[in-house]
Structure 1
Amino acid sequence: MSLDVFPDQDGAPDEPAGAGAGFRTRVYRDVRLPTADPAVTLSADLYRPVTGRPVPGLVTVQPYRKDFLAGGIYAGPARWFAEHGYASLVVDHRGIGASDGQRRPEFDRDEGDDAIAAIDWIAAQPWCTGAVGAWGMSYAANTTLRVASRRPPHLRAAVAVAHGLDAGRDSIHPDGSRGDLHALANRGSAMLLQQLLPPLAGYADPGAQRRWRARLRTQRPMALDYARSPADDPVWAERAIDGSRIVVPVLCAGGWRDGFTHAVIDAYERIRGPKRLVMGPWGHVMPQDSAHHPVDFLALMAQWWDHWLRGVPNDATVPPPVVLHLDGPVPQWRGYAEWPPPGRRVVLAADGGTLTQAVPDVHCRPPGTHVPDPSVGTLRGLPGLGLGESCPPQDQHDDDLRSLCATGEPTDADLLLAGRPEIFVRLAPDEDGRVVPPARLVVRLCGVEPSGRSTLISTGTLRPDSAAEEHRILLRPVHHRVPAGTRLRIALGDADFPRLTPLSGGGVIRVAGLRLVLPVADEQAGTAVDLPARAADAPARPGAAAPPGWRVERDHTGGTTTVTVAGEVPHTVSADGHVYRLTSLVRAHLPGGSPQAVVTSGTHTAEVWLTTDERVWASASVRCTQDTLHAHGVVRIGAFTVFEETWTAELTREESRVCSSAVTAR
Structure 2
Amino acid sequence: MRIRTSFPCETFHEDIRIPLRDGTKLYARVWRPLGGEPVPALLEYLPYRLTDWTAPRDRQRHPWYAGHGYASVRVDVRGHGNSEGLPGDEYSATELADGVEVVDWLAAQPWCSGKVGMFGISWGGFNSLQIAALAPEPLKAVVTVCSSDDRYDNDVHYMGGSVLAVDMHAWAATMLAFVSRPPDPAYVGASWRDLWVERLESVDPFLHTWLSHQTRDEQWRRGSVCEDYSAIRAAVLAVGGWHDPYRDTVLRLVEHLPPDRVRGLIGPWSHQYPDRGLPPGPAIGFLQETLRWWDHWLKDTDTDADAETGTGTGTGTGSSTGSGSSTGSGSSSGSGSGVMSEPLLRSYVSDSHPPATVYPVLPGRWVGDHAWPSPLVAHVPYALQGAPVVVRSPQHTGLDAGRFFPFGNEADLPPDQREEDARSVCFEFEVPEEIWVLGRPRVRLRLTSAAERGQVVARLCDVAPDGASTLVTRGVLNLTARHGRDQVVPWEPGSTEEVLFELNGIGHAFPPGHRIRLAVSSAYWPWIWPQPGSEAGFTLTPSGSVLELPLRAQESDPSIAFEEPEQSAPLGVNFPATLDEPRPERLVVRDVAKGEWRLEVDPRYGGTRVYPDGLEFTEDALETYTINESDPLSARTRSDWSVRLHRPEMPWDASVETHSEITCDETDFITSNEVICKDGDEVAFHRTWEKRIPRTAG
The TM-score range, normalised by the shorter chain, is 0.7 to 0.9
Residue deviations 1:441-473 (CA, integer Å, cap 9, x gap)? 211111211111111111111122355711111
The residue matched to 2:462 in structure 1 has which SS?
strand
**Residue 173 to residue 294, structure 1, CA distance change in 2 (3 Å):** same
After superposition, the Cα gap between the structure-2 partners of 1:648 and 1:562, relative to the gap in structure 1 and judged at 3 Å, is same
Name the CA distance, whole Å, in 2 between partners of 1:57 and 1:655: 44
Secondary structure (helix, strand or coil) at the match of 1:23 reads coil
CA 1:591–1:427 in structure 2 vs 1: closer, same or farther (change >3 Å)? Answer: closer
Q: Distance between the aligned counterparts of 1:267 and 1:556, measured in 2?
A: 48
Distance 2:76 2:174 in 1: 16
Aligned twin of 1:480? 508
Task: Go from structure 1 to structure 2 and tell me whether the alpha carbon gap of 1:348 and 1:557 turns closer, same or farther (over 3 Å shift).
Answer: farther
Of 274, 282, 286, which aligns to 2:269?
282
Flag the 1:174–1:389 CA change in 2: closer, same or farther, 3 A. Answer: farther
Equivalent residue number for residue 532 of structure 1: 563
Q: Tell me, in whole angstroms, the C-alpha distance in 1 between the residues paired with 2:28 and 2:11.
A: 16
Conserved 8 A contact 2:398-2:420: yes
Alignment match, 1:333: 366
Give the match's secondary structure for 2:253.
helix
User: Which of 296-305 and 615-624 deviates more?
Assistant: 615-624
Cα distance between partner residues in 1 of 2:95 and 2:234: 19
The DSSP-based 3-state class of the residue aligned with 1:398 is: helix
Q: TM-score, normalised by structure 2?
A: 0.83
What is the CA deviation profile of residues 352-383 of structure 1, one whole-angstrom value per residue up to 9, with x for unaligned ones?
1xxxxxxxxxxxx33x1111322111212113
Residues in 1 aligned to 2:135 and 2:151: alpha-carbon distance in whole angstroms: 20
2:610 aligned to which of 565, 573, 597: 573
> In 2 relative to 1, CA 388–161 (structure 1 residues): closer, same or farther, beyond 3 Å?
farther
Q: How many residues align?
A: 618
- In structure 2, the residue matched to 1:162 is 146
Higher alpha-carbon deviation: 296-305 or 192-201: 192-201
Kindly indicate which of the two structures has a greater share of residues assigned to helix.
1
- Structure 2 residue aligned with 1:3: none
Segment drifting more, 571-580 vs 49-58:
571-580
Of 526-535 and 43-52, deviating more is: 526-535
1:630-645 to 2 correspondences below 5 Å: 630-645=672-687
CA distance in structure 1 between the aligned counterparts of 2:28 and 2:217, rounded to whole angstroms: 34
User: In the alignment, which residue of structure 1 is the partner of 2:690?
Assistant: 648
User: Would you say 1:26 and 2:26 are equivalent positions?
Assistant: no
**Which letter does structure 2 place at the counterpart of 1:553?**
V
| Pairing 1:218–2:207 present | no
2:45 equivalent to 1:45: no
- Structure 2 CA distance for aligned equivalents of residues 256 and 556 of structure 1: 36
Write the distance in 2 (CA, Å) between the matches of 1:228 and 1:343: 40
Candidates 215, 219, 224, aligned match of 1:240: 224
3-state SS of 2:275 partner: helix
- C-alpha deviation, 1:344, in angstroms: 2.3
Residues 328/439 of structure 1: CA separation in 2 closer, same or farther (3 Å cut): same
Of the structure 1 ranges 123-132 and 545-554, higher mean CA displacement relative to structure 2 is found in 545-554
| Structure 2 contact 241–271 (Cα < 8 Å) conserved | yes
Q: Residues of 1 paired with 2:653 and 2:449: CA distance?
A: 64
Question: 1:554/1:318 Cα in 2 relative to 1: closer, same or farther (>3 Å)?
Answer: farther
Matching of residue 418 in structure 1 with residue 442 in structure 2? no
* Corresponding position: 1:591 with 2:580: no
Task: Determine helix, strand or coil for the equivalent of 1:595.
Answer: strand
SS at match of 1:194: helix
Q: How far 1:425 sits from its partner (Å)?
A: 0.6
What residue number does 2:587 align with? 551
- Provide the C-alpha distance between the structure 1 equivalents of 2:443 and 2:117, rounded to a whole number of angstroms: 40
Residue 539 of structure 2 is aligned with which of 498, 510, 513? 510
> Are residue 374 (structure 1) and residue 389 (structure 2) matched?
no
Report the CA distance shift for 1:64/1:268 in structure 2 as closer, same or farther (over 3 A): farther
Q: Secondary structure of the equivalent of 1:121?
A: helix
Q: Gapped runs of 5+ residues in structure 1? A: 1-16, 353-364, 431-435, 657-666
| Counterparts of residues 53-132 of structure 1 (less than 5 Å) | 53-132=37-116
- Aligned CA-pair RMSD: 2.6
- Which of 282, 295, 303 does residue 306 from structure 1 map onto? 295
Contact 1:629 1:648 in 2 (8 A): yes
The question of whether the paired residues in 2 share the 8 Å contact of 1:227 and 1:650 is answered with: no
The aligned counterpart of 2:671 is 629
Partner of 2:462: 447
- The 8 Å contact of residues 227 and 629 in structure 1, kept in 2 or not, is answered as no
1:565, CA displacement in angstroms? 1.2
Structure 2 counterpart of 1:320: 343
Greater shift in the superposed pair: 41-50 or 460-469: 460-469
| Secondary structure in 2 matching 1:202 | helix
Alpha-carbon shift at residue 335 of structure 1 (Å)? 2.0
Is 2:446–2:541's contact at 8 Å kept on the other side of the alignment? yes
8 A contact 2:383–2:546 mirrored in 1: yes
Cα deviation for residue 557 of structure 1 reads 6.5
In the other structure, the counterpart of 2:550 is 519
Partner AA of 1:78 in structure 2? H
1:288-312 CA distances to partner (integer Å, 9 max, x unpaired)? Answer: 1222211111111111111111111
Contact persistence 1:258–1:389 (CA under 8 A): no
**In structure 2, what is the Cα distance between the partners aligned to 1:642 and 1:540?**
32
1:124 to partner: Cα distance? 0.6
Over 3 Å counting, the alpha-carbon distance change for 1:309 and 1:655 in structure 2 is: closer
1:331-480 map, 5 Å: 331-341=364-374, 342-352=376-386, 365-366=387-388, 368-384=389-405, 390-408=411-429, 410-428=430-448, 438-463=453-478, 464-465=482-483, 469-480=497-508
CA contact (8 A) 1:461 1:473 kept: yes
Q: Label 1:388 to 1:36 Cα distance change in 2 as closer, same or farther (>3 A).
A: farther
Deviation, structure 1 residue 237 = 1.9
Deviations 1:567-586 (A, max 9, x none): 44233234753111111111
**Cα distance change on mapping 1:557 and 1:209 into 2, 3 Å:** closer
C-alpha contact 1:551 1:563 (8 A) present in aligned 2: yes
Per-residue deviation, 1:250 = 0.8
SS of corresponding position for 1:118: helix
- 1:387–1:548 contact (8 Å) kept in structure 2: no
Contact 2:243/2:406, CA 8 A, preserved across alignment: no
Structure 1 residues 256-308: Cα deviation after superposition (integer angstroms, max 9, x where no partner): 11111223332333333511111111111111122221111111111111111
Q: For residues 654-665 of structure 1, what are the structure 2 equivalents within 5 Å?
A: 655=697
Distance 1:447 1:249 in 2: 37
Aligned partners of 2:685, 2:348: CA distance in 1, in Å?
A: 49
1:73–1:541 CA contact under 8 A, matched in 2: no
Q: CA deviation at 1:541?
A: 8.7
Secondary structure (helix, strand or coil) at the match of 1:266 reads helix
Could you tell me which of 188, 191, 197 is aligned with 2:181? 197
The answer to whether the 8 Å contact 2:82/2:184 transfers is no
Residues 61-84 of structure 1 deviation map (CA, whole Å, 9 limit, x = unaligned): 112122232323334311221122
Percent identity over the alignment? 27
Mean CA deviation greater in 140-149 or 389-398: 389-398
Question: In 1, Cα distance between the equivalents of 2:97 and 2:174?
Answer: 25
The one-character-per-residue Cα deviations of 1:539-594 (angstroms, maximum 9, x if unpaired) are: 57958999971223345665322211114423323475311111111111113542
